[in-house]
Amino acid sequence: MQLLKIKNQIDIEIKNILSNKYNIDKKTIVFENPKEIQNGNLSTNIALQLTRDLKQNPIIIAEAIASEIQISEYISEVKVAKPGFINIYFSDSYFKMLIEEVDINYGSFKRKDQKKYLIEYISANPTGDLHLGHLRNAVYGNALVNLMKKAGYNVGTEYYLNDAGAQMNNLGLSARYFYLLLCNQEVDFPEDGYRGKDIESIGKMIFDEFNNQKKDESIDFFIEYSYKINLENIKSILEDINIRIDSWVSEKELFKNDIVKDTLQILEDSNDLYEKDGALWLRTSKYLDEKDRVLKKSTGEYTYFTADVAYHIEKYKKGFTNLINIWGADHHGYIPRIKSSIFSMGQDPDTLEIPIIQMVNLLEDSKTLKMSKRAGTSVTIKRLLSEIDKDVIKYFFVMRSPDTKLDFDISLAKEQSVNNPIYYINYAYVRINSILNKALEFEYKSKLNNQYFTEIEKNIINLISTYPELIVESANKRLPHIIANFLYNLASLFHKYYDQEKVFTDNPIIVEKKLYLLEKISIIFQDGLNILGIKLKNKM
RNA sequence: GUCUUGGUAGCUCAGUAGGAUAGAGCAAUGGCCUUCUAAGCCAUCGGUCAGGGGUUCGAAUCCCUUCCAGGACGCCA
């Protein structure tokens, strides 16, 4: 990409100047894209950084360096500014080159490393409907996958289904409870049961289908029935919001296929296993954990953790070299033990990365709604999707840093849908479409005839030229919201441009140039929102 | 108590591999539709970047400390 290219060139040039002039070998030179265009298109603070070593006024150093930077076809001016910045200004012909390189593959990278990433996300237990926390996780994960692919990473995705253990039993008991109620049979509510409307409706479904024929049916029937319904619901919601997962792994299968047993065998060799109080322990405290963890209870049952260790090792066995688990903040305390287990299994724990997504606080009319499954008040995505545009919801989740807890007010989201930032971006796109359609009518072509750009056009090109770097940065930092912010800024510049300069004027050369620019902007909107997993409307 | 994430404008948030006068949206006030979609644009108002110390040419950003808020601390899953 052009901007990266020219940065490299100037980087080398300045390093040469430094070594010739001051005999200094500087490893990295920091470049910035100044916010204000009067500070140039590229800027470096190298002179400021050298003040201590050289014991000179930074302005003097900056001027000495700046005077030796070659003015070229691409660089029209090099200036020194206040404390000691060196500001580099691009030539018009370079702006032309910057915008000319924008196409569908703009900002797409290839990586040379052989790493294969597996991103596991959502992995909500199939004990009920998905809720908002899962949705944030899903939307973030989906955007991260797209982003990393764009940046050249080799990425696969997975959903881990906890379809074994006590919780499945609780699910079955709860469904049976609601079913038996409908059969007019007095029963106690199960101790750790789920009270949610979703489970209640499963009880009703069973009753509707079988009447009271299943009154004496074994618990397995209720477990299987409920599990199937829940899994279908989860899958259909993910389909509704256009999120695809490559593979689904079942905890039950891990036991069936002896993967858990095999894992214990490997751990046996690691010397990190021991028995105490009739239970089997893993010495996780040897590595990162604050205390050891039980793998096999004194009752002979395996813990959830055991299956999870087996599951993680299985991921490596499948050929993935790097794992990314996207977890909610409530799972934070679980990180040290799982990383420790990876140590014990002979893998490098640094190859397991765990971005933590902060909780979603659900509000309605400014009042907090509790999201506990047990209390049965969790608000389902199904309900939200029926009331609010799914792309509005998705943008709302992906526009913010995952490190901030999110207040999601249902009533506000509905009200503000008109003022929602996604519409601001989409509106820019719609305006461009509308102009381009009109251009077809008038039989204008888009064409870059000369290299004259107005101030605002240079601003736009300048911003667009940073897109490829932002792709890399946000992918490496695992922060898709950086792209959301970028798109918003681009939309803002476009709206300004739209307002300042009409496209259809008397001069066909200028019309063609503007159409050309608009096509490029449109490409960026489409590409960026595609990464975020959001569909653009063609008309509003 | 320990671990962890936050604390930036009235509200919701950007901005942290140290950089130029700290930015948006919403809210408030005032302007802009006889040419491409006013879901827009422009202007005004609004800040002790939680408090205190430190590091340095330079700190919202790094370090120490105090306070406040969310989350987690099972032979549950």
Taking residues A308-329, report their average pLDDT.
Answer: 97
Whether residue A371 has pLDDT greater than 60: no
Taking the model in full, what pTM does it have?
0.95
How far, CA to CA in Å, does A171 sit from each of A116, A210, A330, A376?
Answer: 36, 19, 21, 13
Asked if A30 CB < 7 A from strand B, the reply is yes
Under 8 Å between Cβ of A311 and A251: yes
Under 8 Å between Cβ of A47 and A85: yes
- CA nearest A540: which of A415, A403, A425? A425
Report chain B positions within 7 A of protein CB atoms.
Answer: 2-6, 12-16, 18-21, 24-27, 35-42, 56-58, 70-77
Across A10-115, the runs of DSSP E, i.e. the strands, are: 31-32, 42-44, 75-81, 85-90
- CA nearest A304: which of A292, A312, A296, A316? A296
Q: Is the ipTM value over 0.90, yes or no?
A: yes
Asked if A49 CB < 7 A from strand B, the reply is yes
Q: How far is CA A428 from the centre of its chain?
A: 23
How far, CA to CA in Å, does A405 sit from each of A54, A119, A316?
Answer: 46, 22, 32
Under 8 Å between Cβ of A222 and A173: yes
Q: What is the pLDDT of residues A12-45, one digit of tens each?
A: 999 999 999 888 887 788 999 888 888 899 999 9
Q: What is the pLDDT of residues A196-221, one digit of tens each?
A: 889 999 999 999 999 999 999 999 99
Residue A362 has phi, psi (to 5 degrees) of: -90, 130
Under 8 Å between Cβ of A165 and A192: no
Under 8 Å between Cβ of A457 and A517: yes
- CA nearest A135: which of A397, A387, A370? A397
Across chain A, mean pLDDT equals: 92
Whether residue A367 has pLDDT greater than 90: no
Q: What pLDDT score was predicted for residue A1?
A: 78
- Cα angle value A234/A237/A242 (rounded, 5°): 125
Asked if A427 CB < 7 A from strand B, the reply is yes
Per DSSP, the three-state class of A44 is strand
Asked if A136 CB < 7 A from strand B, the reply is no
Asked if A22 CB < 7 A from strand B, the reply is no
Q: What is the pLDDT of residues A62-102, one digit of tens each?
A: 999 999 999 999 999 999 998 899 999 999 999 999 999 99
